[in-house]
């Protein structure tokens, strides 16, 4: 292979990479109902992030996004659980996850939270990518439920659709993402044959390399064979999967059937990206739009 041909191949791969990492739609979705998805909000000791999230809550309450019936987050709602953690002291550190819950409590519509790896980062000094033991996972899981009111994984049904929220940190003490009990629960949840959406934090291996864009924490097939088997068995029932962690927008498929959406970071991007999902009950399909605030305001005003 000569150098000129190699350069052409490299350029084509680069273009494919850039296109894959920037794919999105600005078309406001139609449908029988709609939801709004946010990811990686990363509340920390930052007034500007608090204000941006509060503004989003206010915009939703003012119905600036028509037809939104509830909000789902896909993890890393806070940068760490606490700013600093003093387990043996009466000194109380700033509870970042608690601050996130406080801001989101102002929403006039239902909201559902997903746990991410940063919710298991008990304080800012803790490395969220370092190994976890089972005791630490269990401790932080309980703290998550105590502060947010949500279990680590759960499901609910809305207008004939099932929504399943998973915890991709539960198996980290085994160098996996999901524990065995959660996988058994997921299999049971998918047996009702309702059209279903899945939400969890870590990205999964899909049909194209585009989902890998500069990413760490990818859910490899060899680490979660039972999870991928379950997805394949129920691929006609699962209409979409939403993940976070990568801080960028990528749309791909798995098994050529299930749409997978990796959502950009609301907290780390000053444009505060979010996603509106429309549901068509007749065709049992969804449509997704990445919707900057200025675009949606232009549509509804």
* pLDDT tier at 140, thresholds 50, 70, 90: very high
* pLDDT tier at 93, thresholds 50, 70, 90: confident
Retrieve residue 19's tokens.
């296109």
Q: Supply the pLDDT for residue 97.
A: 96
Contact present, 245 and 223 (Cβ < 8 Å):
no
Mean predicted confidence (pLDDT) in 59-79: 95
What's the per-residue H, E or C state across 242-282?
EECCCCCCEEEEECCCEEEEECCCCCCCCCCCCEEEEEECC
Q: In angstroms, rounded to a whole number, what is the distance separating the alpha carbons of residues 141 and 96?
A: 16
* pLDDT tier at 271, thresholds 50, 70, 90: confident
- DSSP letter at 29 equals P
Mean predicted confidence (pLDDT) in 55-83: 94
Q: Residue 216, SS3?
A: coil
Q: pTM to 2 decimals?
A: 0.87
**How many domains does the chain divide into?**
1
Q: Counting Cβ atoms within 10 Å, is residue 200 exposed (0-12), middle (13-18) or buried (19+)?
A: buried
Examine the pLDDT at 45 and tell me if it is beyond 50: yes
- At 99, which CATH number? 3.60.21.10
Contact present, 168 and 76 (Cβ < 8 Å):
no
Contact present, 50 and 177 (Cβ < 8 Å):
no
> What percentage of the chain exceeds 90 in pLDDT?
67
Higher pLDDT, 93 or 75: 75
Region of 214 (left: φ > 0; alpha: ψ -120 to 50; beta: rest) is left
pLDDT digits (tens, 9 = 90+) for 184-241: 999 999 999 999 999 999 999 999 866 655 566 789 899 999 999 999 999 999 999 9
Contact present, 128 and 87 (Cβ < 8 Å):
no
Give the range of the structural domain holding residue 120, as residue numbers without chain letter: 3-300
Dihedral of the CA atoms 9, 11, 14, 19 (nearest 10)? -110
Q: In angstroms, rounded to a whole number, what is the distance separating the alpha carbons of residues 141 and 97?
A: 13
The candidate with the shortest Cα–Cα distance to 75, out of 256, 220, 269, 243, is 243
- Beta-bridge partners for 37: 72, 275
Q: Supply the pLDDT for residue 213.
A: 55
Q: In angstroms, rounded to a whole number, what is the distance separating the alpha carbons of residues 169 and 48?
A: 28
Examine the pLDDT at 78 and tell me if it is beyond 60: yes
Contact present, 153 and 185 (Cβ < 8 Å):
yes
Examine the pLDDT at 147 and tell me if it is beyond 90: yes
Q: Supply the pLDDT for residue 1.
A: 47
* pLDDT tier at 172, thresholds 50, 70, 90: very high
Q: In angstroms, rounded to a whole number, what is the distance separating the alpha carbons of residues 223 and 226?
A: 9
Q: Which residues contact 48 (CB under 8 A, 6 or more apart)?
A: none
Q: In angstroms, rounded to a whole number, what is the distance separating the alpha carbons of residues 168 and 265?
A: 18
Mean pLDDT of the chain: 86
Q: In angstroms, rounded to a whole number, what is the distance separating the alpha carbons of residues 274 and 295?
A: 12
Contact present, 223 and 175 (Cβ < 8 Å):
yes
Opening angle at CA 139, ends 152 and 121, nearest 5:
80
β pairing state of 285-290 and 33-38: unpaired
Q: In angstroms, rounded to a whole number, what is the distance separating the alpha carbons of residues 71 and 104?
A: 10
pLDDT digits (tens, 9 = 90+) for 237-258: 999 999 999 888 889 999 999 9
The candidate with the shortest Cα–Cα distance to 169, out of 213, 209, 133, 215, is 133
Q: Supply the pLDDT for residue 24.
A: 37
């Amino acid at each position: 292979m000569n150098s000129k041909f190699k350069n052409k191949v490299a350029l084509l791969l680069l273009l494919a990479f850039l296109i894959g990492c920037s794919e999105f739609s600005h078309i406001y979705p139609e449908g029988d109902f709609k939801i709004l998805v946010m990811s990686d909000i990363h509340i920390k000791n930052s007034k500007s992030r608090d204000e941006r999230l509060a503004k989003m809550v206010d915009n939703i309450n003012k119905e600036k996004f028509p037809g939104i019936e509830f909000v789902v987050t896909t993890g890393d709602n806070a940068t760490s659980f606490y700013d600093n953690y003093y387990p043996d002291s009466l000194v109380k550190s700033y509870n970042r996850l608690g601050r996130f819950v406080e801001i989101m409590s102002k929403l006039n519509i239902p909201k559902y939270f997903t746990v991410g790896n940063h919710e298991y980062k008990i304080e800012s000094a803790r490395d969220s990518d370092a190994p976890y033991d089972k005791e630490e996972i269990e401790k932080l899981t309980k703290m998550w439920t105590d502060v947010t009111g949500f279990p680590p994984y759960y499901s609910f049904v809305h207008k004939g659709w099932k929504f399943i929220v998973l915890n991709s940190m539960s198996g980290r003490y085994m160098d996996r993402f999901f524990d065995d009990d959660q996988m058994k629960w997921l299999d049971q949840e998918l047996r009702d044959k309702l059209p279903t959406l899945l939400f969890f934090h870590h990205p999964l291996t899909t049909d194209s390399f585009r989902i890998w864009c500069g990413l760490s924490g990818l859910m490899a097939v060899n680490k979660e064979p039972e999870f991928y088997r379950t997805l394949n068995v129920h691929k006609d029932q699962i209409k979409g999967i939403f993940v976070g962690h990568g801080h960028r927008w990528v749309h791909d498929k798995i098994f050529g059937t299930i749409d997978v959406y990796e959502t950009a970071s609301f907290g780390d991007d000053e444009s505060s990206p979010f996603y509106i999902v429309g549901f068509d009950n007749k065709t049992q399909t969804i449509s997704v739009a990445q919707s900057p605030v200025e675009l949606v305001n232009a549509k509804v005003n």
